[in-house]
Amino acid sequence: MKWITTFVILLHLRNHVTNADIEPIVLVHGGAGTISDDRIPGKYLGSKLAARVGYQVLMNNGSVLDAVEEAVRIMESDSNFNAGFGSVLNYEGFIEMDASIMDGKTMKAGCVAGVQDILHPISLARRVMDKSKHNFLVGEGMVKFAFSEGIEILSPPGQLVTQQAIDALEIWKENNARFDIGEGGTVGAVAIDKNGNIAAATSTGGVIGKEPGRVGDTAIIGAGTYADNNVAGISVTGDGDTIMKVALALDIVKRMDYLGNDINRAASDALDAMTTKLEGTAGIVAIDMMGNIGIAFNSKQMSWAYQRKNIIAYGVRKGEHLEELLPDEQVLDEIAND
């Protein structure tokens, strides 16, 4: 009878959420893994900036889709993150990126994989969602679609490859191709507006030293990304080959929907279930239909940040929760120039 009571309470809450009950929020992550101390300041700054940009988009009458796309674009432009310009290299020394985005109101989604020489794979995924008849594009067809949509494909190729990525691949090979070498990571964002609309987006350069053509969880709806206005929006980071096997994002949503778990209990239990059954670690950021946030990871670290009203909260280490109060007149340029 307990589960019936819980279910009835959830239905009651859903039916009585009004615009006044929901405070808009943008929550981002910059990847789960092992982050060296010298890299943490860059993670702080980049995560905070991404959350702030996404939030300003939302406050300036942008949609939740606009907010998560712009937040992810900030991190794709930042070499502190494994996405876009900061992407790791595959075994042959090339960049292949994955991304996905999902609208919780319509359940529409856009996914791309194996993206090369495009700075913002998340924007390509958004175009797939908005402008194509499909959810997922890859290969030559994806490239033709990108051209038709006017998305810049960098020429000559290889402009996204950084010296840091080259050095990291060399270290990886010197350490007998151990996939636990390096910080790994993925970037993502979730947002909710005052009307309860939710969106989620995720983008990654994948796993260092991966086989050419490898696709991880980031591009897969239900594994790395999921959004449903009736439950939650989720972006996942971590061991993609494990995450996709358990459909981690969808597992969290179903635990909330069917068992009545709150967002943090659902995330924690899903992570525990994954690592009990399979090897690998992961992290999630999530926002439920009432605007409650969930931040959980069982890796050593995960960078994250969110803005709600004029407060930015952020962290990297387990148990860390730092906050900054932003004066109303403060502008994004001040953060970007820190």
User: What are the two backbone dihedrals, phi and then psi, of residue 99, each rounded to the nearest 5 degrees?
Assistant: -160, 155
Distances in Å between the Cα of 25 and the Cα atoms of 1, 84, 101, 126, 310 are 35, 24, 17, 20, 10
Tokens of 256: 């909330």
Catalytic site residues?
A: 186
- Beta pairing partners, 187: 203
Q: Give, in degrees to the nearest 5, the angle at Cα 288 between 282 and 290.
A: 160
Q: Give me the DSSP letters along 33-52.
A: E---GGGHHHHHHHHHHHHH
Q: How far apart are CA 227 and CA 248, in angstroms?
A: 13
Q: How far apart are CA 336 and CA 167, in angstroms?
A: 27
- Amino acid letter at 177? A
Residue found by looking up tokens 């092992």 in the block: 34
* 144 class by beta-carbon count within 10 Å (0-12 exposed, 13-18 middle, 19+ buried): exposed
Q: Which of 172, 154, 194 is nearest to 55 (CA)?
A: 194
* Residue 211 CB neighbours (<10 A): 10
Q: How far apart are CA 3 and CA 100, in angstroms?
A: 34
